[in-house]
Amino acid sequence: MEELGHWINGKRVAGTSGRFADVYNPATGEVQAKVALASKAELDSAIADAAEAQKAWGATNPQRRARVMMKLVSLLNRDMDKLAEALSREHGKTFPDAKGDVQRGLEVIEFCIGAPQMLKGEFTDSAGPGIDMYSMRQPLGVVAGITPFNFPAMIPLWKMGPALSSGNAMILKPSERDPSVPLMLAELCQEAGLPDGVLQVVNGDKEAVDGILDSEVIQAVGFVGSTPIAQYIYERAAASGKRAQCFGGAKNHMIIMPDADLDQAADALVGAGYGAAGERCMAISVAVPVGEETADRLIEKLVPRIEKLKVGPYTAGDDVDYGPVVTAAAKANIERLVQSGVDQGAELVVDGRGFSLQGYEDGFFVGPHLFDRVTPDMDIYKTEIFGPVLSTVRAGSYEEAIGLALSHEYGNGTAIFTRDGDTARDFANRINIGMVGINVPIPVPLAYHTFGGWKKSGFGDLNQHGPDGFRFYTRTKTITSRWPSGIKEGGEFNFKAMD
């Protein structure tokens, strides 16, 4: 069985802790590899080497660092299918979803080719008599990224791109559930010209995470995962004086107004609710139709679409809408929450319980579920399910609908479907959520904007990628400069003034 280690100083190395985690094929339920879990000593060694490598990399001019990003874009395009296949094999995503995972990460690397522009400071001539003032953006030093299982290419690239092109060294601690793609990305970075040691990929569990948070060398940490862990990392990082950027869970609402195009809305809900088996922090998990007639018509359109969804392994190609969830534990948690919805009185309109796929009976497949008449006190409404489960909460008015999203503890993404510009504008202005879609179901910003949620979906002042990415991974230094002048009025040079 394959054993996956770490990427240290430009090469793959075996783990030395003696501890391993199983890496599954979610479609079959079989263990296909083991990944080493780093000890604190292994982590500390990788951090020390990264700190040494960062000195020369941080002194490299931004244009040369940007050329590494330019080469990396070419390599990611070249190996797109190879990366997607490895991603699907360990995560379970369909092949098109896996390619999309890589593509959205690649787009951030494209943005980072513009690092010289993003890292420019400001200059004021003659801020005072003979005084000039200017600022510069400098790298933090060694930073860390702790990334989740659900986007094993995209989110590591979101972290690596701005951090590395800003002149930092990075310790990347990816999810131990699907570690192959981050290791492959490190190899591509080396091929692109990144010096050895500037990127270290350390696989591990809580021991590695705590080691990162307690390290006196690491200056900043970026995290994506569940809200309890995001809050834990944010608080512990802050206690040790680190800058932190931590993104957590979500419960994304999509409001459907009576004037909406319901066919468009139904198609959007199916794609946004069930794509990638619902294992996306930007998945729509709550549909909020306004008015009983709107709700009845929406359910009528959703049911046949959901019943036609094809669930299967990524090897089935384009004939599959979504694949398995990542682990048996994830499947069990989804099934538990679905049963809680039934027990608490929600109407299970499409019942995916007991789903089984011939030839893949041991895989972690979950059938699609659609609930109607869900109420805010139910667990399926309050909790992020992270599975192919869509809950419908009927609202009597627009104010009631927007109130649901306003009052929920999560604030990652939201959407409204309407033909009315005034309603859309009011929604966009009033909603206390970080990313908003208007007739767009998953409003993930492009790489030159920033990605981040509000409330318990995000901890920290700066978002991921876009300009905020460079702000997070650099600090500003401001210089006030005055040089003695030997010039007298009228242009005569005063030599004594220079003595």
Check if the beta carbon of residue 483 is closer than 8 Å to that of residue 130. yes
pLDDT band at 490; cut points 50, 70, 90: low
- Provide the β-strand partners of residue 482: 131
Among 150-159, 185-194, 401-410, 439-448, name the one with the lowest average pLDDT.
439-448
Whether residue 499 has pLDDT greater than 50: no
User: Do 180 and 72 belong to one domain?
Assistant: yes
User: Do 178 and 261 belong to one domain?
Assistant: no
Whether residue 486 has pLDDT greater than 80: no
- Provide the β-strand partners of residue 487: 493
User: Do 259 and 229 belong to one domain?
Assistant: no
CATH number at residue 312: 3.40.309.10
How far, in Å, CA of 419 to CA of 266, rounded?
15
User: Do 324 and 205 belong to one domain?
Assistant: no
User: Do 185 and 67 belong to one domain?
Assistant: yes
pLDDT value of residue 278: 96
pLDDT value of residue 319: 87
User: Do 280 and 240 belong to one domain?
Assistant: no
User: Do 212 and 317 belong to one domain?
Assistant: no
Asked if residue 496 is part of any domain, the answer here is no
pLDDT band at 483; cut points 50, 70, 90: confident
Asked if residue 160 is part of any domain, the answer here is yes
User: What pTM was computed for the model?
Assistant: 0.94
Asked if residue 279 is part of any domain, the answer here is yes
The encoded tokens of residue 443 equal 């409003």
- Per-residue pLDDT averaged across 154-176, rounded? 98
User: Do 222 and 322 belong to one domain?
Assistant: no
Asked if residue 498 is part of any domain, the answer here is no
User: Do 91 and 233 belong to one domain?
Assistant: yes
Q: Which domain holds residue 130?
A: 2-248+457-480
- Cβ count within 10 A of residue 421: 9
Whether residue 489 has pLDDT greater than 80: no
pLDDT band at 484; cut points 50, 70, 90: confident
User: Do 355 and 470 belong to one domain?
Assistant: no
Asked if residue 492 is part of any domain, the answer here is no
User: Do 224 and 98 belong to one domain?
Assistant: yes
What are 190-209's pLDDT values in tens digits? 999 999 999 999 999 999 99
For the chain, the domain total comes to: 2
Active site residues: 281
For the range 304-311, what are the long-range contacts, defined as Cβ-Cβ under 8 Å and sequence gap of 24 or more?
305/266, 305/267, 305/270, 306/270, 306/274, 306/350, 306/368, 306/370, 306/390, 307/350, 307/368, 309/270, 309/274, 309/368, 311/355, 311/357, 311/365, 311/366, 311/367, 311/368
Asked if residue 298 is part of any domain, the answer here is yes
Whether residue 445 has pLDDT greater than 50: yes
How far, in Å, CA of 31 to CA of 182, rounded?
19
Buried b (16+ CB within 10 A) or exposed e, 318-346: eebbbbbbbbeebbebbbebbeebeeeeb
User: Do 181 and 269 belong to one domain?
Assistant: no
Asked if residue 494 is part of any domain, the answer here is no
Asked if residue 296 is part of any domain, the answer here is yes
CATH number at residue 158: 3.40.605.10
